[in-house]
Structure formats: C-alpha cells, structure tokens
Structure 1
Amino acid sequence: MRKLVMFAGLLLGLQSCNNPVKQEANARPEEALQLDTLRLALDWTPNVLHSGIFYAESQNWFREAGIHLIWDTPERDNYTKKPIFRLLEGEVDLAVGPSEHLFAFAADSAQVHAQAVASILQSDRSAFVAKKSSGINRPADISNATYLGYHTPLEEHILKAMIEYDGAEAKFGTETPDRLQVWDAFRKDSGEVAWVFLHWEAMQSELAEDSLNAFIPNEYGVPYGYSSVIMAPKNLDASQTKLIRRFLDICRKAYRESQDKPDVVLDAILDHIQHPNFVDHVFIRQAFADIRPHFGASRWGVMSDQKWSDYAQWLESRGLNDLKGHESTEFYSNEFLESK
C-alpha cells in the first residue's frame, strides 16, 4: 500500500511496538525499499491463532511476494486502542478482530468504512468459561455471578441472552480489569466468568489441571458471527486491492500447510517467534492441535453469507444494532480470496 521510504523510522516503530519477531526476519534496508509495506494489527497477544501468518513470515513468503509485513499486537499500548480503531484511523492497513466490531464501529449513516476480507477460523473457538469448582455448570448458573469483561460492545448482551435462553434471569455483575489482565484476574478468582479462546486460555487451564466449564454462544441461542476476521478499509484503490489479495493468498497457503505438515509448521514457528507466549512448547503444541482443525484448510478465509446474516438479524431483533441502514453484506467480502 505504501512504499517504505525511511527504514530507520520503521525500525524504531517496530521496537516501540515490542514486535517479538527475530530482527533477521525483517527485510534489509536496501531490500525494503523495493517492497510494498503492509501494516497489520493483531487482535491479541501472539498465539497459535496467528500461526499461518507467523509460518509464512518464517519462510520469507511475504518478502518473496514483494511484501514487507509489519505486525504488532495490543501489547504496544496495553490494549488501550482497539485494532479496528487503528484501522479506521489509518495507522494500519489490516486488522484482526471479531465481526461485531465491524457492525459496532465501522459504519455511519453515510457509508461503511471497513469490511472483513477473510476469516481465520471457520468455527468459533471463543466461549464463556467458569471454573468447575465454582459450581457453574450451565449458563443459567451465571445469573448472579461476576463476569470479568473487556468493556467491548455486545459481550454482556450475548451473555445475558445465553442465560435467558437457558431459562434464568440475567442479574450478573460485571467488572472490567485492563483488557490484557482479564485472564489473570479470572485465575485469581476476582470473578467467576470470563470470555476466552478455547485453544488458548482454556487450554492453559486444562494443562494446569484447573478444569473449566465452557459455554459457546452458538450452543445457547446466539448465532454468533466470526471471532477472528481480517479487516480492511472499505474504499481501496486497485493497488491496495492487489496487495491484500497477495497477502491473503500467502496466508491461505500457510494455513493449509498447517493441516498437511503440522509438525513442520509448528517447529518453524517455534524457532521464529521470540515471545513469552511461545516459551512453553508443550502448551503450544497442545494449543495448536486444538485449533488446527478449525482453520478450515480447504475453505480457509471464506465467510458464510448465512452466518453474517443470522448474526446481524439477531442483533437487530434484540435492538442491539440497526446497522445504520446498511445491509449485512456490506460488512464483508469473499472477493479478496478469489484468484484474479
């Protein structure tokens, strides 16, 4: 989208964002001048959800395709700014986040400003969880519990709907630690319920023999959308569109290899990523095995019209979002995944 013109400034930016990739993985200054720079904001701290991106980077596939990829995570500012806001304000070219962020933040009465161009997962791997020791065995039991939230749109409404679907009145309280501290607060019993990824936080608990009960929204009356989509601006010129297509082609190849050569892929990632999240190789291998089937290798990235429509209709039926007069089809596109 933009040619890199000042490598020194770029390097400073990478350091300030605490990007954990080895320095040698980045393009050399003279080479970077010939590449198209693509800035990506991840949705969370580095984890196996992002494995296709990390693997492609470890194999230099982005660089070979003429892309100088710069990615960072919410750690850069302790998650004070959502990735979608960074996208809407032009700080990044792509961002990862849940589909409801597009409905909530990416439109006004005049136009839609951002869209999903691919889904990392084909099935949702997020769930509300409670420790088995808490006595919470179903959503109805959450009625009077304390939920540790992220201060994001819809999370309390989704939990409320699940409790009501299970036959109880939702009277839970909510506390909001810093977003990156929610899991630590949950583990320290600051609250009974949290919304987490099954492949990550829930797997940490499983390996620590601290069992959880998990409640997936889709199983309790909420036709939840996509927990992890790659988002881009709505208005793109021809060169930007081509660059995003190139990026997604590489991602698709990498995520497919995670199905065909899982050990090779994971070994490469573990050698490549220098971040505290990837120190425990036993945990990482378990987490990777858990999430890998949900990448949907043969259909990686492709989004379902029905899923977007059902989620939008559910939101409207509960008075949570009128989409500001826009159709749900305006918020996503599979066209970037088509070969041109």
Structure 2
Amino acid sequence: MRTWYKVLFLSLLTLVLVACQGEEAEQKEDANSESGEDLKKVQLFLDWTPNTNHSGIYAAKDQGYFEEEGLDLEIMLPGEVPTEQIVATGKAEFGISFQTQVTQARAENMPVVSIVAIIQQHTGGYYTPTDKGIKTPKDFEGRVYGAYGSELEKSMLQAVMKSEGGDASKVDVVQVGNTDYFIATQRDVDFVNIFYAWTGIEGEVRGADMNFIKTIDYAPELNTYSPVIITNEEMIEQDPETVQAFVTAVLKGYEYAIENPEETADILIAEEPDLNPELVKRSQEWLSPLYQEDAPVWGTQEEKRWVDYAKFMYDENIIEVEVDASAAFTNQFIENAKK
C-alpha cells in the first residue's frame, strides 16, 4: 500500500511539472510575440536629426501603437541617399519628406506618395539678427543670404520679396549648408531660412536677439505641407494593409502628442538623449497645437495646395514637366483610420 501511494504521488508530481512547463512555454511564446517576433518589420527614414517634427512617431512607438497594429517600426537616420530615393526604390517602406521634395521627385518619375501631413501650415521663414535692421522682405536687397544651394530657394525668395516690391536679384546668395546659423549670421551672412519650431525656438533658448519673417505672411502660395510622411505607389497597390496599419498607429501617436506635449517631449528626450532637453520641451509646447490646427483630422491634405505649388514649381522652371498633384498625395489611409 505504501508503495502504491509513492507511485501515485510521483505520477501526480510529474503531471504538475509537465503542466507548469507547458504554461511556462505558453507564457514564453506570448512574450516572444509581444517582443516583436510575430510583428511585421518596417522602416521609416527621417529627413534630418530627430526633432519635434517627429515626436508623434516616437510617441506611437513608446505607447505601443505600432505593436497594436502588428508592426515593428525601426526609425532610421538619414544618410547620403535622399529619403525620397530610398522610399521610391523600396529600400524602406516609409520616410519623412516635404511637399517640395515630393513634387520634385514626382517630376523625376519617382513614385513616392505623401500619405499624411505632419504639420498643417508651413512654419518656415527668414531669420536675421535684429541689429541687421531687416524688418521686411524688401530689406533683403543688398544683403547676404545664407542658402542651402537649390534653385528653388531663389524662386521662393523672389516670391516673398515681390509682395513688398523687392528684387531678389539684388540679394547676394552664398551657400552655408549645415553651418550653425547663429554663428553664420554673426559673421558674413545677414539672413537664413529656418523652421521656427526648431531653430527659432533654439534661438529663444540661446537668448539670441533675432527677427523672424514668416514666409506665408508674404507668399501664401508657398504654404506647403512641411513635413509629410511618404511611401511608394507599389506599397499602396500591393500592401495597403501595412500602409493602413502604419498610418493608424502614427495618427494615434500625433493625437497623443497634441494632448500630451510634456510627456511627448520626455519620450523624445529619453530616446534621443543628445538633444537639448530645454529645446525639446519648449519646441514641443510650441508645436503641438500646430500639428492639426484647423484640419478636421490630423494628417489630412488639401488638393488645391498640391496643385498650386506644383504650378509654382513648373512656372518657375524648377521642374520641367507638369505634375499630377492628385497622384502626389492621398487621404485614404487617414480617413480609414478615423472610421
């Protein structure tokens, strides 16, 4: 009898151990699933150093929105190859671009498509030390402009100056590339072109005494979507489910950033500790209300603005062919995400 009890006890113990091992294996499988083994890997190439333009993407990643949609997103820093080219050739599924670059790319037969607008209104403009005495675009005449080096810049400068009766041919244009703007404008450059959400706020943090001339105050036709998120036509045609999942997650991320600027700044700082925390926090506070602004839904784009800007680039001989603006962007994924 005693032997029989021993056998029964050992049998029950074995069953318990097997059950525990099975439960442990199941938990491990679930953990592997949650860690990304069952998620679809996709890449997004940034346009520049991580900054508050990108905050909604980092927020979506931090909050698990991509995982909820079945995606494992890898955020890639830009390199020597333009993001538009990387996305157009399918080397990455998504990228950060601008309406200007997308229009240029479409004119060169690159099949990139803007799927959301990150910011509704163009926040760029011309930045100059106050002691230079430049108050309006007319004052650019006879001054030195620190440019990136594109022909488009000259056309944009003329569009801004003509509203004040100015002549861009009287501006001395020099290339400054990625030079520190604050150092450049204290030397031989009188004004530069910036995005206020980052460089303008950086000036505030530095205590620089600067004057900002907003582009669209003088040239509404230059109110481009800057920046946008792009994919390519093949992704839209052959894998719309992945594009939809990505846009749905990103929408949630930017809605989070709109509602929670302080927390979103902390997320970006944690992911990119080399950034100036004060700059990130002040920039995020300034930018969060502008992501959606007066748009019915964050990310939506107006066809008229794409048409008008494509015409501007064609009329200014920046592009050699007319671009079908309706094919350069789509609202279908952002609309589906809100259904």
Alignment TM class, shorter chain as reference = 0.7 to 0.9
Structure with more of its chain in helix, by fraction: 2
1:1-340 superposed matches below 5 A:
31-74=35-78, 77=79, 80-108=80-108, 113-170=111-168, 171-178=170-177, 180-181=178-179, 183=181, 185-224=183-222, 225-236=224-235, 240-270=239-269, 272-277=270-275, 280-296=276-292, 298-322=296-320, 324-339=321-336
**What is the Cα deviation at residue 291 of structure 1?**
0.7
Secondary structure of the residue aligned to 1:116 is strand
Secondary structure of the residue aligned to 1:337 is helix
- CA distance, structure 1, for counterparts of residue 32 and residue 137 of structure 2: 53
Report the AA paired with residue 45 of structure 2.
A
Once the two structures are superposed, residues 69-113 of structure 1 have per-residue CA deviations (whole angstroms, 9 ceiling, x without a partner) of 111223xx3xx33221222233322111211112212334xx561
- Aligned residue-pair number: 303
The runs of 5 or more residues in structure 1 that have no matched partner are: 1-26
- CA distance, structure 2, for counterparts of residue 238 and residue 202 of structure 1: 40
Instruction: Give the share of equivalent positions with the same residue, in percent.
Output: 20
The runs of 5 or more residues in structure 2 that have no matched partner are: 1-30
Secondary structure of the residue aligned to 2:239 is helix
- 1:217–1:223: 8 Å Cα contact kept in structure 2? no
- CA distance, structure 1, for counterparts of residue 110 and residue 327 of structure 2: 7
In structure 2, the partner of 1:11 is none
TM-score by length of 1: 0.81
Once the two structures are superposed, residues 249-303 of structure 1 have per-residue CA deviations (whole angstroms, 9 ceiling, x without a partner) of 1111111122223333333333x313422xx322222111111111117521100
- CA distance, structure 2, for counterparts of residue 235 and residue 254 of structure 1: 25
- 1:62–1:69: 8 Å Cα contact kept in structure 2? yes
- 1:144–1:173: 8 Å Cα contact kept in structure 2? yes
Q: 1:300 to 1:145 in 2, by over 3 A?
A: same
**What is the Cα deviation at residue 332 of structure 1?**
0.8
**What is the Cα deviation at residue 199 of structure 1?**
1.0
- 2:93–2:232: 8 Å Cα contact kept in structure 1? yes
**What is the Cα deviation at residue 118 of structure 1?**
0.6
Deviates more, 1:89-98 or 1:234-243: 234-243
